[in-house]
Amino acid sequence: MIRKIVIVAIVAAAVGVPAFWYLTIPETIPASALAPYTPNLANGRTMFLIGGCSSCHTIPQQKDSTRLGGGLALNSPFGVFYVPNISSDAKDGIGGWSEAQFVTAMVNGTSPAGEHLYPALPYTSYQRMRLDDLRDLFAYLKTLPAISGRVRDHDLPFPFNIRRTLGVWKLLFLDGKSFTPDPAQSAKWNRGAYLVNGPGHCAECHSPRNLLGAIVTSRRFTGGQSPTGQGGVPDITQRKLHDWKVEDFAETLDTGMTPDSDRVGGPMVEVVANTRQLSAADREAIAVYLKSLPGPK
């Protein structure tokens, strides 16, 4: 009996290990997939602002939001993630990356070294971004100062420190779908939906997560844990904000003032520091979309 169990275990391992290895191969986008393109730096700056890149990647306690040397600690149930240097430094930042490598990281969550990136980089949202917007963002980032200094490795216990297992996580939660406009909605609503669900990655903070760290789809935007590990992020659906008007959402994104004469706090302060620099049209588009979010059923 024991001999049979051993044989079954050996056969299972012989089949399972290669299957696991094949199914978890990090996906990459070859340079040949990117046609010639002239970047739009103004649009790249818009993507930088709505993406809140400076909020996470600026050196902690540094007021200059263009110094993207990283180092911020993000606490999670899986350990501590340290936000990397994404400055134009060729050695310690992304200055040595190719455009295809940047797009691959943002869409597939794969590093230039061919390793899985942790979804602390919210590529589950960035995969929705248009290719041109990603290319514009990359070009804009390259115009910002080069900051030397490599950020320390993540502090993750076993088995979360084994990157290959992220291939299974991606099979479950990374669908590879880009943003699809809703023809039944207005152009303004669709612009807002794109900004919120793609580069803005608002659901990443404003949603609860399951035991594997993925967003609970049925409860998107109903509130979540603060990325700093302190406090919570509020519900922004109509269950909670049903009294807010479109102009209230737009005002908050511009000044940080809420309809009840309060001010946003926590990480949202930095979000507003970015959204106030967007065009009024984009803030209104975001507001229109947010006003349409129903509460959970």
Model confidence over 81-138: pLDDT tens digits? 999 999 999 999 999 999 999 999 999 999 999 999 999 999 999 999 999 999 999 9
Cα distance between residue 213 and residue 119, in whole Å: 9
pTM of the model: 0.90
CA dist list (Å): 246 to 16, 79, 166, 209, 243: 53, 38, 39, 28, 10
Burial class (CB in 10 A: 0-12, 13-18, 19+), 133: buried
Encode 141-156: b = buried (16+ Cβ within 10 Å), e = exposed. Answer: bbebebbeeebeebeb
Q: What one-character DSSP code corresponds to residue 266?
A: T
Rounded to 10°, the helix 131-141/99-108 angle is: 120
Give the dihedral sign, CA 159/165/78/134. Answer: positive
- pLDDT tens sequence across 209-259: 999 999 999 999 998 877 655 667 889 999 989 999 999 999 999 999 898
Cα distance between residue 59 and residue 158, in whole Å: 28
